Amino acid sequence: MTPRRKRMLIIALCVLSVGIAVALILTAFNQNLMYFYSPAEVARGEAPGNRAFRLGGMVVTGSVERGDAKDLTVRFKVTDFVTERAIAYRGILPDLFREGQGIVAIGQLDADGVFVASEVLAKHDENYMPPEVAQALKDGKAQQAAQP
């Protein structure tokens, strides 16, 4: 191989590997993007049925039900003051999970329209409202005011 052809080969290999890397990265990126939806948007059918997304809202007071099962199944509802959505979760809830508190859950809708959460987030302090939830609640209230 002449030095010139060798150099061309190296350049071609570099371009190829960069191309593969970029393709891999973008595929992984695309597969793991999670959009945020409010309960109203889920009710309107905007949320995807077959992939995970984030659902946020205020935990409806009095909606938290714990079975006495050993596996810690818990069911509750979140609201954006327009509609409510039932969430099922198995495991330990975060320290700051409370009724009347804004939370974000990550998961998927099941066949019955229940949001099966794999993770429930309620970090930060007691005054903190996740920004997406704050926006969803504001939108929900505005919508209600517009249609008395």
Partner 1 sequence: MIPELGHFALAIALAISVLQAIVPLVGAQRGNVLWMSLARPAARAQLVFIALAFAALTHAFITNDFSVAYVAANSNSALPLAFRISALWGAHEGSLLLWVLLLAAWSCAVSFASRGLPLAFVARVLAVMAIVSVGFLLFMLVTSNPFLRELPPPADGADLNPLLQDFGLVIHPPMLYTGYVGFSVAFSFAIAGLIGGHLDSAWARWARPWTMLAWCFLTLGIALGSWWAYYELGWGGWWFWDPVENASFMPWLLGTALIHSLAATEKRDVFKSWTVLLAIGAFGLSLLGTFLVRSGVLTSVHAFASDPARGVFILAFLVLIIGGALMLYAWRGASMGVSASYATTSRETFLLANSVLLTVACGTVLLGTLYPLVLDALNMGKISVGPPYFNNVFVPVMTPLVILLGLGQHARWKQDRFATLCRELRMPLLGTVLLLGAAVATMSDARSPRAIFGLALAAWVVSTSIGGVVQRCRQRSSPWRAFLSMPAAYLGQHLAHLGFAVTIVGVTLVSLNTVDLHTRMAPGEHSELAGYDFHFVAAVPLKGPNYAGTEAQFEVTRKDGTAIRLSAEKRNYHVRGMPMTEAGIDPGLTRDIYISLGEPLDDKAWSVRLSVKPFVRWLWLGAMLMAAGGITAMFDGRFRRVAARPVERSVSADSVAP
Q: Which residues bind partner 1 (CB under 8 A)?
A: 6, 10, 21, 24-25, 28-29, 31-36, 52, 54, 66, 68-72, 90-93, 95-97, 106, 124-126, 128, 131-132, 135
User: CB-wise, 1 or 111, nearer to partner 1?
Assistant: 1
Place of tokens 């066949």: 111
* Least spacing, CB of residue 31 vs partner 1, in Å: 7
* Least spacing, CB of residue 51 vs partner 1, in Å: 11
Q: Are strands 84-90 and 73-79 parallel, antiparallel or unpaired?
A: antiparallel
Residues 6+ apart with CB under 8 A from 83: 39, 40, 42, 43
* Least spacing, CB of residue 33 vs partner 1, in Å: 5
CB 74 within 8 A of CB 66: yes
Residues 6+ apart with CB under 8 A from 107: 52, 53, 55, 87, 89, 115, 116, 117, 118, 119
User: CB-wise, 86 or 107, nearer to partner 1?
Assistant: 107
User: CB-wise, 35 or 143, nearer to partner 1?
Assistant: 35
* Least spacing, CB of residue 112 vs partner 1, in Å: 24
Residues 6+ apart with CB under 8 A from 41: 47
Nearest to 64 by CA among 13, 10, 120: 120
User: CB-wise, 112 or 125, nearer to partner 1?
Assistant: 125
* Least spacing, CB of residue 43 vs partner 1, in Å: 18
Q: Which two tokens stand for residue 8?
A: 């061309």
User: CB-wise, 71 or 112, nearer to partner 1?
Assistant: 71
